[in-house]
Amino acid sequence: MKLVFLFFIQFFLPAIVFGQSLKKDTSYYNGCGWIKERTYADSTIIFNSCTGEYNVFNKQGITIIEGRMGFNCGCEFLKNGIWIERYSLGELLSIGSYDCGQKSGEWIYFYENGNKKKIENYTKFYADSTSIAMPSTFLNGNYFEFYNNGNIKVLGSYEIKLAIDCVDVIIPEPPYLTMKQVSGIPKNFMSGTWYYYEKNGALKRKENHEN
């Protein structure tokens, strides 16, 4: 119960901060979990704590956000699973997946006319003995951008590498001193040859990114 309450504070309050006045605030228990509904001037948010379903509707009743939140990443509700966003008239804006609050796998973005706008790929980096970093996701692999007429705009790829750096590390024993340690910090870099095109499909330029 405490976790659900904390999520409501964390996730629903920003709508008030950004200027949307709350018009309706209801919640009820459905035998499995709490259903929370908040209605603002321009949108309605409905969250099911049992299934994790999270939906946002605009004032026309069109679903503009459809996704899932979950506890399975620890003691917080985080975006986890398929996440879909739409323009105000219902056209697809983006579709992808979250893994414990971080983008994962392929993400596709669209123009309002239905043509693809951008394709990104995310990969989770797991720390090893050479890195102190927590698992996190980075752009990795193929990357595409398109013009609204469907023609390719940018074609390239990213690669995750460990950037060696000197970082502060706290010794986990009294007197808890801080020491310097050389460690690998994961970063993503533009990799290989990137191609840039004109709107008519003609090649504009190429850039080489050999790291």
Give phi and psi for 14, each to the nearest 5. -55, -30
pTM: 0.79
Give dist(CA 181, CA 183) in Å, integer. Answer: 6
Is 202 in contact with 151 (CB distance < 8 Å)?
Answer: no
**pLDDT confidence of residue 162:** 77
CB atoms near residue 195 (< 10 Å): 14
Structure tokens at 11: 């996730």
**pLDDT confidence of residue 208:** 96
**pLDDT confidence of residue 196:** 98
Query: Closest by alpha carbon to 189, among 156, 155, 165?
Result: 156
**pLDDT confidence of residue 169:** 62
Mean pLDDT by 10 residues, the chain (211 residues): 46 47 86 90 92 94 94 77 96 95 96 98 74 72 97 96 67 64 74 97 95 60
**pLDDT confidence of residue 20:** 63
**pLDDT confidence of residue 24:** 87
Structure tokens at 145: 């951008």
**pLDDT confidence of residue 132:** 47
